[in-house]
Structures are given as C-alpha cells and as structure tokens.
Amino acid sequence: MNIQQEHPQQEDTEMTNRDPNTNDEPKTVSPLLVIFGITGIVGVMVALMLIFTEPRQPAQDTVRPIPTTPSPPRPLNDWRAQDFALQDLDGNTVRLSDFSGRVVFLNMWHTACEPCVREMPAFDQFMREQGDDGAVVLAVNQLAQTEADIRPFLDRLGVSRLIVLLDPDFLMTDLYPYNFFPTTYVIDPQGMVRFFKVGELDLAQMRLWAEQLEG
C-alpha cells in the first residue's frame, strides 16, 4: 500500500516544479505583421520609382538655341562659273577664263568609271567637229591620277583632241560639286552655267546644247 501512494506524490512534485508561464508550443509571426511589413516595403519602392522617373523641368535660365534656316543649295544652272587654274597632261596651266567667249563642257571623270570611258570617244569627236574656235571639252580627272596613268588610257581609246586636266587637290569638289560620275557642267560664252548633266553624254546632246548656247 505504501508503494502505491508514492507515485501520486512524485507526479505532484513534477507538476509543481514547472513554470506556469512556459509555453512549449512553437512561436509564429502574426499574419498582420507580415502584411504590414510587405505593404511598407512596396510603398517605399513605389515612392523611389516615382522620384527617379519623374521628368525634370528645365531650369528657367536655360538658353535655348534659336533654329536657323539652312542656306539654300547652289542651283544646278544659271549661275556665274568660277574660274580655276589646273595643269594639263603636258604640265601647262589651263584656266577656265582662257576659253571666254566659247561654250565649255566641264566634265568630272576618272578612268575606273565605265560611263566616263564610254563618253570619251564622243568628246574627242565633238572636239574635232568644233575646231579651234568652237565649243571645248575640259575633262577634269577626279581620282588624283597622274599623266602616267591617263595617257596610256587615252591612247588605248584613240582619244587625242580632248583637253584633260589634273586636279590632285580636288578643287572641283568645292567649285563644281558632284555626287556621281560622270558629271558635266555646260557653260555659255558669257561664263554662266546653263546646263547640268549627271551621267553619260552623247554626241547628239552635246551638239544640241552647243548650238543653243552659241546662237
């Protein structure tokens, strides 16, 4: 009987030794705190995005450039031809003004240009027809080629009457602008540019323009 009474007393002792404030269950975070925390973080991110993406207003004292109207390009015809001085294949200085009173076909070309090559015989024939006092063709090379490069080329084509000028400094790019080869300016006896041609010229067109300008 004494043994049976000892167990209840031991259990009572263990129960009395436990701290009543101790909670053996695992602790959890309140869902409300999680929601409030996430909402706060999202709010801060949105505020930062608004700050950095807000368009900035220009300062009141900023000087804005005044737009200017670009100058009009040079007309293709009806303007005073500019004089120049270049050397021919023999080293002689040739000026545009040397041919005052005559129609001048001022041609921009080079030996690698196929249309330029095709029109060379027409130029040579035109020069033969015009003689020493008629219209003249000045073929200005625009590839910085030398006499040694050009003379054999002309010999192969059988061209001998054409006046070929060298332009190693590319003066023509400013005086008589061009974008394609060949390009020809036609100048009347009074020194005015009257016609402008991009592409190959044929003999019939040259005769027509010369007749119009000489008349």
Domain count, the chain: 1
Task: State residue 29's pLDDT score.
Answer: 55
- Please check whether residue 61 lies inside any domain of the structure: no
- Please check whether residue 17 lies inside any domain of the structure: no
106: CATH: 3.40.30.10
24: pLDDT strictly greater than 60: no
- Please check whether residue 36 lies inside any domain of the structure: no
- Please check whether residue 72 lies inside any domain of the structure: no
Instruction: Give the residue numbers spanning the domain of 102.
Output: 79-214
| Confidence bin at 147 (pLDDT 50/70/90) | very high
19: pLDDT strictly greater than 70: no
Residue whose structure tokens are 């016609």: 195
- Please check whether residue 40 lies inside any domain of the structure: no
- Please check whether residue 144 lies inside any domain of the structure: yes
- Please check whether residue 25 lies inside any domain of the structure: no
User: Would the pTM count as exceeding 0.85?
Assistant: no
Task: State residue 17's pLDDT score.
Answer: 46
Question: Once rounded to an integer, what is the mean pLDDT over residues 169-180?
Answer: 94
- Please check whether residue 19 lies inside any domain of the structure: no
| Per-residue pLDDT reduced to its tens digit, 43-77 | 667 666 666 555 555 445 444 444 444 444 556 77
Mean pLDDT rounded to a whole number for the chain: 81
